[in-house]
Amino acid sequence: MLTSKQTEMNKMAIIEVGSIVLFLLVLVLNIHKTNKMSALYDELNLTASDYTVFINVSAGHRYDFNQIYGSKLTDDSKYSRGYYFKKYITDKMVF
């Protein structure tokens, strides 16, 4: 009777190990397939990050920027110069 219980236990252990290996294999294949689908989706769809905007900033714009935001740059360290320059440029845009 003890021998039959050990045999059954060995069979169950083999089935459990096989199930774990199968689960991990499916998990790895799913990750691989998801990465491929993500790359394909990115190639097929255009987003704003696919473009670059070039702005020619003249000396007059730099002077105006320093006149408007120069005091905020020295007094307020919460925002960077880039943040204020972006705000300056968007304020100058005509929609």
Whether the model pTM is above 0.85: no
Tokens of 46: 């255009």
Mean pLDDT of 3-18: 94
pLDDT for res 26: 98
What is 29-92 written as a DSSP string?
A: HHHHHHHHHHHHHHHHS--GGG--------HHHHHHHHHHHHHHHHH--SS-HHHHHHHHHHHH
Question: Over the Cα atoms of the chain, what is R_g?
Answer: 31
Tens-place pLDDT, residues 39-95: 999 888 888 777 887 878 889 888 998 888 888 777 656 888 888 888 888 888 876
Q: State the Cα–Cα distance between residues 6 and 12, nearest whole angstrom.
A: 10
25 confidence band (pLDDT: 50, 70, 90): very high
Query: Quick check: 13 pLDDT over 90?
Result: yes
